[in-house]
Amino acid sequence: MGKARLEAFSDGVFAIAITLLVLTIPTPDDFHRLGHALVQQWPAYAAYLVSFTVIGIMWVNHHTVLGHFARVDRNLVYLNLVLLATIVFVPYPTGIFGEALQRGEGERVAAVFYSLVMTVNALAWAALWLYGSTRRRLLNPAFPEDQRRTATVLFTMGTLIYAGTIVVGLVNAYACLAVHGALAVYYALDPLSRWVSRFTV
């Protein structure tokens, strides 16, 4: 399978996962006081927004990372499937997170669950990168060696940071959701992303 095909399939999965997020927002029951009911649902909107941002920026970074690989092999195809499995799963903890915050029940469990899924996702990203970059296995020859080391450090740290969000979730669910939003924005701006403009585009 060529790289273009792998990217097209991944794009499709990203596009569908990001669109299914809207199904996580429950229709209100109380149409008599609909305005009130819609306002009460703000945690579901917040969870939708955070997960949309997370998946959207992961989609951008997926291009960045694959853009640094000169080719793909069978193992990378499978590692990519593992990564997609964690992304496709995101609507599920998102819905639970939104509903728990709205009900005021099980918020911290929901926050920990969401953070666990994100940690597994970070591990899948790190595995993808480490497999493709170790001994420059699939790396573009033009990709600078010092950048490779920096990226490896960043991906490894990423898994630790996401593991840290589990601890935040144990303490406060709202803070945990905010941290996930902030982390997504960070990944939109961080050095890893800035490589795009320097090397791929």
Residues making contact with a second copy (CB under 8 A):
1-2, 5, 8-9, 11-23, 25, 27-28, 31-35, 38, 48-49, 52-53, 56-57, 59-60, 63, 73-74, 77-78, 81, 84-85, 88-89, 91-92, 95-96, 99-100, 103, 105-106, 109-110, 113, 188, 193, 196-197, 200-201
Closest CB to a second copy among residues 116, 163: 116
Q: How many other CB atoms sit within 10 Å of the CB of residue 114?
A: 28
Question: What burial class does residue 36 get, using C-beta atoms within 10 Å of its C-beta: 0-12 exposed, 13-18 middle, 19+ buried?
Answer: exposed
Least Å from the CB of residue 134 to a second copy: 20
Least Å from the CB of residue 118 to a second copy: 15
Least Å from the CB of residue 66 to a second copy: 11
Closest CB to a second copy among residues 160, 167: 167
Closest CB to a second copy among residues 77, 161: 77
Closest CB to a second copy among residues 12, 149: 12
DSSP calls for 27-60: PPS-STTHHHHHHHTHHHHHHHHHHHHHHHHHHH
Angle at 15 between CA 184 and CA 199, to 5 degrees: 60
Residue 174 C-alpha from the chain's centroid: 18
Least Å from the CB of residue 138 to a second copy: 13
Closest CB to a second copy among residues 20, 154: 20
Least Å from the CB of residue 167 to a second copy: 16
> At 90, is the secondary structure helix, strand, or coil?
coil
Least Å from the CB of residue 155 to a second copy: 20
Q: How many other CB atoms sit within 10 Å of the CB of residue 141?
A: 6
Cα distance between residue 29 and residue 40, in whole Å: 12
> At 139, is the secondary structure helix, strand, or coil?
strand
Please say whether the beta carbons of 42 and 26 come within 8 A.
no
Closest CB to a second copy among residues 35, 141: 35
